Structure 1
Amino acid sequence: MADAIVHGTVAEGYEPVREAFAATLAEERAGHAAQLAAYVRGRRVVDLWGGPGIDGDSLTGVFSATKGAAYLVFALLLQDGTLDLDREVRHYWPEFAAAGKEHVTLRQLVAHQAGLVGADGGFTPEELRDDRAIAERLAAQRPYWRPGAAFGYHAFVIGALIGEVVRRVTGLTLREVYEARIRSPYGIDLFMGLPEEHEGRWLSTQPMDPTPDQKRQSAAAGHGPDGLPGIACNQNHAKAPTVLAELPNTREFRAAGPASIGGVGSARGLARMYAAAVSGVDGRGALLTPDTAARVAEIHSAGHDLVDREYKAYGLGFVVVSERYPFLGARSFGHSGAAGALGFADPGAGLAFGYNRRRFAFPGGAAPETSALAKVIRECAVG
């Protein structure tokens, strides 16, 4: 790309990260803009950005990277003893027991094993930005597989399902718990519901056009709207199938901040959240004890994902990212987002990583360049 100038800073010993980031900017197509941040043992060591229209303070939709914040709230309540993984969900949320779900445990729910990837007929745009409405629909929904028999990515709904449990046990929404216990006290630039005063920092999300090869691959996949991938991505709503890339580009969606896909943030915010989780920042201690951090990264679902149609490994909600990035420690955990955002913690290395990009890399999910960037940062951190 013509504009491959890298802005920002790296700590001494992390100069190779700047070089790697410059290389990824140069390799991408026109219009690419990205941010990269990392903490090691609670100290920010990487803070970089580049590409047209973006700076280190810019905010974009991070899509499913939002789930990391939702799972962190869940982990805190588990750590507090407020939640019991092996209790049936109906213990906390009685209405959930309908349509054959009476024996679904909280462990199965958070590990993507409950079979509630969507709803018959899909969700309206208004429902999709309202976690309470999603939860109400799913309480009455029959699962798409026998709970516990398989697993599949609950892409648009897992935040609402967990959020309803959180609301039932705390009297607060998941967003309120996140704000009070995580975002505000640790100064994290990742919002579930973007306040009006931060709208000036917003950058619209834009899809990159797929290459001819990518178009052929997409056509070959042939997922219909009524199959599990289509249901999970709300393609089964006849009048308003969801166009994922466009969701955060309305003020209503950004303000609502649904916990599965509605977060707005930066690479700084993603990295700082995971640093707060495992190391602490600015004199504040870690949110999670080492035991809790190990528990959330413990593999609960591994193998063929019925929705993503590929090999996946999940812990307690979080993706076990060492399965995708084998140079990371086995207890690493995090989550990516559809436009290419990625946040994770590698507790063994004391590393917290955040990457964010403005435009989708087809077909979505963790951007391909994150592997090289994460690898060089970890090498600097442990070397």
Structure 2
Amino acid sequence: MDVQGTVADGFGPVRDAFAANFTRHGERGAAVVLYREGEKVVDLWGGTKTPDGGEESDSGEVPDGGEESKGGREPWTQDTAQVVRSVTKGVAAAVPLLLHQRGQLDLDGRVSTYWPEFKAAGKERVLVRHLLAHRTGVPVLDTPLTPDQAIDGISGPLAVAAQRPVWEPGTAHGYHAQTYSWLLGELVRRVTGRTIGRWIAEEIARPLGLDLWLGLPEEQRGRVGRIAAVEPPAAPASAGPRLRPKRSVAEAYRDPESLTRRAFAAITPVPDENDPAYLAAELPASGGVATAEALARFYAALIGPLPSARTVRSGGRLFAPATLTMARTEESAGPDQVLVVGTRFGLGYMLHGPACPLLGPGSFGHPGRGGSLAFADPEARIGFAYVTNGMRRGVTADPRAQALVRAVRTSLATLEA
């Protein structure tokens, strides 16, 4: 594999791990970027932007790139962007935290204070922090939305406002895989008068110079890699039995009555993530489009400052120290009602643990189902992002991302020795 890009002295293990992902793990097209102390030290990319040759989407439409990509495989380039699925949640979580930092939102206030209709069906005591920590009790919809309803900006907020919680809010946690879009998006709209995608564009992406969108502009469609499935390599014949939970996420997902299946099926049928209409929608749970550079730079800015940033508050740093502490202070831990395994959440961010291994105990960020991962580690002073269009089954701990994280850990240990 012809890996392109640069690494600073001491970060060769990251290049080696990135290249090995193509041969060992069936990588299609991907990029990895690492910022350290506000400066970029790793910037690598490789593979193909259209790994499946640009065939027609499930909706019968040819994605942007049309005849040029159809039947051929375009190379991944430095400016290739990608749908990053639930990595989007980590970007979106910055919005309410920054609103709180600016005195516009009370994290201990009730959601219904800002969104009166939300108090229906036993949700009158739901706090803003419950929403961010996946404790609202509304990970499912009794009546799933169609893909068109999911992106119309109206049906989703109406559905979650009317939905009765499946557990008493605040007493347990479970991953709000899809409903997070309408819960967070509508809260931000009620507080600011702007859609969350517009807020991110105006207050985060443009000031920091990020190629990151929640609601992809039409003129940027040609940059986006096409999602394709990647099957994991077969286990060696000599592999012995592996210990696993009594019930895995995959097993729970196969049960149509489980919270796992219902949470991921809040949009039914599964939307075509290569569809231009989906890319243009503002779904903060799963619909963000970004380059690895933008995501790593975003996380570096959370813990900042960024010497090369354009004019932003606090000299290129997004989170004040108190906000940073809140973001990565544990709010939820233990058995996840949706993901089955034990998970840890701060305010909008997944925290380091067995279900989501990051760099170390102080790391915070978010994986995306299928592979992508982005996070920050204030103690190591790094912002990390890996994006891929080769989507594998699984929600967290993708082996390709984990190989890169281990390589970063090795590099830092060597540099600090």
Decide: shared fold, TM above 0.5.
Answer: yes
Aligned: 1:8 with 2:5: yes
Question: Which structure 2 residues correspond to residues 354-365 of structure 1 after superposition, within 5 A?
Answer: 354-365=385-396
Equivalent residue for 1:368? Answer: 399
Report the Cα offset of residue 68 of structure 1. Answer: 1.1
Partner of 1:264: 289
Q: Which amino acid aligns with 1:269?
A: A
Aligned twin of 2:127: 105
Q: Is the 8 A contact 1:156 1:260 kept in 2?
A: yes
Cross-structure match for 2:199: 177
2:22 maps to what in 1? Answer: 25
Q: Helix, strand or coil for the counterpart of 2:316?
A: coil
Cα distance, 1:151 vs structure 2:
0.7
* Aligned ranges 1:128-147 → 2 under 5 Å: 128-147=150-169
Matched, 1:234 2:259: no
Q: Quote the sequence identity (%).
A: 40
1:318 aligns with 2:340: no
Cα drift, residue 275 of structure 1: 1.1
**Are 1:337 and 2:333 an aligned pair?**
no
Map of 2:276 onto structure 1: 251
Partner residue, 1:279 = 304
Distance in 2 between residues matched to 1:19 and 1:80, nearest whole Å: 43
Q: Describe the shift of the 1:131–1:293 C-alpha distance in structure 2 as closer, same or farther (beyond 3 A).
A: farther
When residues 173 and 326 of structure 1 are mapped into structure 2, their CA distance, relative to the original with a 3 A threshold, is closer
User: Compared with structure 1, are the counterparts of its residues 218 and 77 closer, same or farther at alpha carbon in structure 2 (3 Å cutoff)?
Assistant: closer
Q: CA deviation at 1:220?
A: 4.5
Shift of 1:164: 1.3
The answer (yes or no) to whether the contact 1:40–1:381 under 8 Å persists in 2 is no
- The match for 1:377 among 408, 412, 417 is 408
Query: Contact between 1:349 and 1:378, CA under 8 Å: does it hold in 2?
Result: no
Task: Give the direction of change, closer, same or farther, for the CA distance of 1:196–1:171 in structure 2 (3 Å limit).
Answer: same
CA contact (8 A) 2:137 2:169 kept: yes
Which amino acid is the alignment partner of residue 47 of structure 2?
Answer: G
1:305 aligned onto 2:336: yes
Inter-CA distance 168–257: structure 2 relative to 1 (3 Å threshold): closer
User: Which ranges in structure 1 are unaligned for 5 or more consecutive residues?
Assistant: none
Residues 296-344 of structure 1 deviation map (CA, whole Å, 9 limit, x = unaligned): 1000000010111111000001101355566734331100111211000
Alignment of 1:158 with 2:180, yes or no, is yes
CA distance in 2, matches of 1:310, 1:290: 31
Q: Which amino acid in structure 1 is aligned with residue 40 of structure 2?
A: R
Question: Structure 1 residue 69 and structure 2 residue 85: aligned?
Answer: no
**How many residues align structurally?**
372
**Cα offset for 1:167?**
1.2
Amino acid across the alignment from 2:260: P
Q: Match of 2:135, SS?
A: coil
- Match of 2:371, as an amino acid? G
Q: Say if 1:67 and 1:260, in contact at 8 Å, map to a contact too.
A: yes
Deviation larger for 58-67 or 365-374 = 365-374
The alpha-carbon deviation at position 366 of structure 1 amounts to 4.3
The Cα shift of 1:208 comes to 1.8
Aligned counterparts of 2:293 and 2:160: Cα–Cα separation in 1:
34
Q: Is the 2:303–2:381 Cα contact (8 Å) retained in structure 1?
A: yes
In 2, Cα distance between the equivalents of 1:73 and 1:24?
33
What 5-or-longer segments of structure 2 have no aligned partner? Answer: 49-74, 236-247, 310-314
Q: How far apart, CA to CA, are the structure 1 residues paired with 2:409 and 2:278?
A: 35
In the other structure, the counterpart of 1:49 is 45
- For 2:12 and 2:231, how far apart are their aligned partners in 1? 32
SS in structure 2 at match of 1:66: helix
The amino acid that maps onto 2:21 is T
What is the alpha-carbon distance in structure 2 between the residues aligned to residue 308 and residue 155 of structure 1? 9
Post-superposition Cα deviations, 1:8-40, rounded to whole Å, max 9, x if no partner, equal 0011222222122222222122x6221110101
**In structure 1, distance between residues paired with 2:196 and 2:109:** 19
Where 1:249 maps in the other structure, the secondary structure is: coil
The residue identity in structure 2 corresponding to 1:241 is P
Separation (CA, whole Å) in 2 of partners of 1:60 and 1:249:
10
Report if the CA contact (8 A) 1:60-1:358 is conserved.
yes
Matches of 1:173 and 1:158, distance apart in 2: 14
Q: Secondary structure at the match of 2:383?
A: strand
Shift of 1:163: 1.8
Is the CA contact (8 Å cut-off) linking 2:356 and 2:397 kept in structure 1? no
Counterpart in the other structure of 2:67: none
Q: Quote the offset at 1:356 in angstroms.
A: 0.7
Taking the aligned partners of 1:159 and 1:371, their CA distance within structure 2 comes to 27
Please point out which of 18, 31, 36 is paired with 1:35.
31
Task: Confirm or deny: 8 A CA contact 1:190 1:264 kept in the other structure.
Answer: yes
Alpha-carbon distance in structure 2 between the residues aligned to 1:193 and 1:77: 20
**1:250 shift after superposition:** 0.2
* 1:336/1:342 contact within 8 Å kept: yes
Where 2:333 maps in the other structure, the secondary structure is strand
Q: Is the 8 A contact 2:302 2:319 kept in 1?
A: yes
Would you say the 8 A contact 1:63–1:262 is kept in 2? yes
Give the aligned partner of residue 79 of structure 1.
101
**For the Cα contact (< 8 Å) 2:344–2:353, is it kept in 1?**
no
In 2, Cα distance between equivalents of 1:270 and 1:331: 18
